[in-house]
Amino acid sequence: MAIAAVLTGCASTAPVDPGATPEELVLITHGSFALGEDNEVLDRFTEQTGIAVTVLQADDAGALTNQLVLTKNAPLADVAFGVDTTFASRAVKAGVFAEHQVAAMGPDQERFQLPAGAGREVLAPITSGDVCINIDAEWYQSKGQTPPATLDDLIKPKYRGQLVASGASTSSPGLAFLLATIAAYGEDGWRDYWRALVANDIKVTAGWTDAYTVDFTRAGGDRPIVLSYGSSPAFDPATQNLDATCFRQVEYAGVIAGTKYPTAAGQLVDFLFSAEAQAAIPDSMYVFPTNTAVALPEGWAGVVSVAETAYELDPAVIDAKREAWIAEWSAIVIG
Amino acid sequence: MRARQPVSTVFGLGLAVGVPVLFLLVFFLVPLLGMLWIGLAPNGQVDLVGFVDVLGRPRTHRIIGLTLAQAATATVIALLAGLPVAAVLHRRRFRGAGVLRALVFVPFVLPTVVVGVAFRTLFRPSGWLGWLGLDGTFAAIIAALVFFNIAVVVRTVGVRWESLDPRQAEAAASLGASPWRVWWTVTLPALAPAVWSAAAVVFLFCATAFGTVLVLGGLQFGTIETEIYTLTMDYLDLPAAAALSLLQLVLVVALLTVSARLRQRGERGVTTRAAAPKPRLGRGDAGLLAWSLLVVAALMLPLAALVVRSLETPHGWGLDYYVAFLGGSSAASAVLLSLSTAAQAAAIALVLGLGLALALSRPAVTARQLRWRDRLDRLVMLPLGVSAVTVGLGMLITLNRPPLDMRTTGILIPISQAIVALPLVLRVLLPVLRGIDPKLREAAASLGASPARVLLDVDLRLAARPIAAATVFALAVSLGEFGATSFLARPTDPTLPVLIYRLITRPGAENLGMALAGSVILAMLVLALTGLVERLRAGVAGAF
């Protein structure tokens, strides 16, 4: 029997017990994934289960989702983490994930979960991050001016030429900001809001990096208002988050359909929601844990928090309208 | 009538051509075609409705125009700026020439995102060059494209220039021709193949530029490449992406055909000689030298902006970010991983490229051989002009069965870099090898040298410098993470550019400072490698 397997060189024909414990599981994720120094937190999982975890990283959440969809028939991994609010629907619809429920997930996670029938059965929320407008509080203080607080403020003449944001067509936070304005002003109002932003001299960059590290006043640039993340002020105390401008982005984990070890893969998803893994999320990935029982690290507690009233949109609606929205947005902003 | 070639030679030629062709077939053509197939035939049947729709959109026409305009402008400027630099840095001997040659090479490998930050730091309203008003303009894109690609011109042309037989030019001068006339009637025609080679490579790099165009153009300038990226990654609209990939393919093949014609016109009657000592810098070189220093200074400006920002800490000037970067757990291993990946990619590209160049430089006998040779040449060049998104995702969907399922091993990283390095290796080696006088080989053979001996004594000896230059290119392509690597899933240990990218996409002055310090370290690594290869080459050339 063993000889036959060697001779045919084809292990996949032999049926594998789905509950078997493999020596190794492959976790595919995006480029920002980390759990402790050198992913040392994953070693706890290995200690508990005897299963080693190999991590593969795609560029970003979009690249990850597309790779999952395209390799559906010959998956690269057993578990995926990092598909986010804006891409979840694409992956779920393509049937990338197998059903799995994290037992520990309670009513506190309700607000992070996908709607029933649209991903709740297959994807578990692991991190929650807000894309928010940040301000250079020091700049406003030194000028003796009041900083803006809301989306409405950003189109007031007194903040003319002060906002820099990355574009919805080229960056993930940029898309989240567009979605925040759609959630805030509705299908009928967001276009006028963006026309007003353009009239108020918004600067649109390709990516978050050059907005935050070139144009933002904290980086020596000329604009004291920047599109960034809810957690950014933890890394620069001179900046502040505008809580009323946030869009909620949740990142999910799921068992990849077609894995030979669905039970073990499910254990790894459970582990990502466990207190051990969740506690490492803020310092490693700069977003918040969805397991709200976990304490935030020093420098976070009291400085930043998950915005209570972040804007949200149904992932299925995002998936259906993304292309049309971005095209209209481009026409307004880029011309 | 030529003598029949010995079996071993035929076998050697077959191997030298067959292995690279197989390599490109498996790792480039199959992935490309696989991706095009699922786009053009999503349900197993070819459906061209979407295809026709995309090609009919006014947006597509505008983008084709922009792609060609950007690439053509940047190529012309890179040639005009780079040729005089090649003339001085590769043909004259003076203190510091090696350092200048290495400096010119640094921009080629810097990560796009870092160069974006550097240029925008210069161009932002309060920046050193803010008064030029270039932020978000077409000119800013061109400046960055020239910055990246000038090294291609200087190296490719410079290496050919070093190995030109100077006697023709000297003869013309002794007959009373002015230096300008000598350049125009003798040197330029002799250099033409290398100039066209460089132009083709630069054009293709510029036409497929992606990050540079978006970061510096402020979104209003797109290229076919940015469009394929958006259609694939944001919308997963594979039919539309496939239509544009196909269009890109047609344009690239057309361009390669034209450039091959232009190149071949000059490839006859120009001889290569062994590396000889270069003349010292003379008074007549003052103008060229001044121009070269100006170009190098211009290239250094964005780098200076990087260095300055990497030294600017919250509490004054200091090396804090360098200490933090190097003290981090991943810096040392990232450098080692970058170097070992580069060594693998360069080894693949050099072995395949050298074999191919030797095979393609044999004198062709029949018209049919010539035609096949041209096709082969175009096949090798093709990856430079084809969308990295398409090839990268294509690898994931086609190389999915044993024994070719290497998708999770990381070996696809050096392989996809080698695919981009291979055409550069070929372009550097071919003009020199084709310039070798066949009589030299015949003389060696008639003196009793075996074919292998002829190869070693004639071809490889004359090609020592180009081989060194090709090595530098191949290492640089890998260190700069060229190719489809960002569309593959890779093991978690970062290379230096990946580490820099991870740091620069996180908030906080510390992360940015460390990313910039890491970029400066990457630049110094390139300087060191370039210097090392040149030194090795000098040693090897001396040994013959």
Contact of B220 with chain A, judged by CB distance below 8 Å, is answered with yes
Tell me what pLDDT residue B540 has.
56
Cβ of A9 under 8 Å from any chain B Cβ? yes
B509/A236 Cβ within 8 A: yes
Residue among A209, A216, A222 with most chain B CBs within 10 A, to mutate: A209
The predicted structure's pLDDT at residue A143: 95
In this complex, the residue of A10, A38, A70 whose CB is nearest that of residue B397 is A70
Provide ipTM, 2 decimals.
0.88
Whether B504 and chain A come into contact, CB under 8 Å, resolves to yes
Residues of A in contact with B116 (CB under 8 A): 206-207, 209-210
- For the record, the structure tokens of A170 come out as 């080229």
Query: At A3, is the pLDDT very low, low, confident or very high (cuts 50, 70, 90)?
Result: very low
Query: Alpha-carbon Rg of chain B, whole angstroms?
Result: 24
Q: Which of A179-188, A287-296, B428-437, B513-522 has the lowest mean pLDDT?
A: B428-437
Round the average pLDDT of chain A to a whole number and report it: 91
Cβ-Cβ contacts under 8 Å, B120 against chain A: 210, 214-215
Which chain A residues are closer than 8 Å to B220 by Cβ?
A: 334-335
Is A317 within 8 Å of chain B by CB? no
Query: Is residue B178 predicted with pLDDT exceeding 50?
Result: yes
For the segment B200-245, what is each residue's pLDDT rounded down to a tens digit? 999 999 999 888 888 888 788 889 999 999 899 888 999 999 999 9
Instruction: State the smallest CA–CA distance between residue B507 and chain A in angstroms.
Output: 6
Is the CB of residue A118 less than 8 Å from the CB of residue A209? no
Q: Which residue of B has its CA nearest to A173?
A: B505
Under a CB-based contact definition with an 8 Å cutoff, are residues A175 and A217 in contact?
Answer: no
Find the residue in B nearest to A238 (Cα): B508
CB contact, 8 Å: A47 with chain B?
no
Q: Give the angle A66-B50-B66 at the CA atoms, nearest 5°.
A: 80
Mutant choice from A70, A90, A164, A198 vs B, greatest count of B C-beta within 10 A? A70
Q: What is the pLDDT of residue A208?
A: 93
CB contact under 8 A, B508 and A90: no
Contacting residues of B for A54, CB less than 8 Å apart: 408, 491
**Lookup result for tokens 């803006």:** A148
User: In which element (H, E) is residue B345 found?
Assistant: helix B331-360
Please tell me the predicted confidence (pLDDT) of residue B505. Answer: 87
B397 at A interface, C-beta within 8 A: yes
CB atoms within 10 A of CB B267: 17
A152 or B41, which is more confident: A152
Alpha carbon of B285: minimum distance to chain A alpha carbons (Å): 40
SS (H, E, C) B91-149: HCECCCHHHHHHHHHHHHHCCHHHHHHHHHHHHCCCCCCHHHCCCCCHHHHHHHHHHHH
Query: What is the tens place of the pLDDT at every residue in A279-335?
Result: 999 989 989 999 988 888 888 877 777 777 899 999 889 989 999 999 999 999 987
Residues A270, A273, A279, CA angle at the centre, nearest 5°?
140
pLDDT number for residue A14:
52
Q: What percent of chain B has pLDDT over 90?
A: 46
Integer-rounded Cα radius of gyration of chain A = 22
* B498 interfacial to chain A (CB closer than 8 Å): yes
- Choose among A121, A179, A158: nearest CA to A319: A179
A13 touches chain B (CB under 8 A): no
Chain-chain contact of A57 with B492 (C-beta, under 8 angstroms): yes
A333 chain-B contacts, CB cut-off 8 A: 219
Q: Cα(first)–Cα(last) distance of chain A, in Å?
A: 67
Give pLDDT tens digits for A46-86: 999 999 999 999 988 999 999 999 999 999 999 999 999 99
Distance CA B113, CA A205 (A): 12
Partner A contacted by B409 (CB < 8 A): no
Q: What percent of chain A has pLDDT over 70?
A: 96
Q: Which of B117, B486, B498 sits opposite A213 (nearest CB)?
A: B117
Closest Cβ–Cβ partner in B236, B400, B507 for A74 = B400
Select the residue from A8, A26, A66 to test the B interface by mutation, using most B Cβ atoms within 10 A: A66
The residue-averaged pLDDT of B394-409 equals: 85
Are A213 and B116 within 8 A, CB to CB? no
Dist. CA A163–CA A201, nearest whole Å: 8
Is residue B478 predicted with pLDDT exceeding 70? yes
Q: Is B511 on the interface with A (CB under 8 A)?
A: yes
pTM higher than 0.80: yes
**Would you state the pLDDT for residue A187?**
93
Tell me what pLDDT residue B70 has: 95
The pLDDT of B310-336, averaged and rounded, is 91
Q: What angle do CA A317, A322, A324 make, to 5 degrees?
A: 115
How far apart CA B503 and CA A235 sit, in angstroms, is 13
pLDDT digits (tens, 9 = 90+) for A217-262: 999 999 999 999 999 998 888 999 999 999 999 999 999 999 999 9
Stretch B187-210: mean pLDDT, rounded? 91
Contacts of B414 (CB under 8 A, 6+ apart): B341, B342, B344, B345, B348, B478
Q: State chain B's mean pLDDT as an integer.
A: 88
What percentage of chain B carries pLDDT values higher than 70?
95
The answer to whether the beta carbons of residues B469 and B155 sit under 8 Å apart is: yes
Q: Which residue, B262, B248, B250, B140, is CA-closest to B198?
A: B262
- Rounded to whole angstroms, the Cα distance separating B94 from B489 reads 46
Q: How many CB pairs under 8 A join A and B?
A: 144
Mean of pLDDT values over B119-146: 92
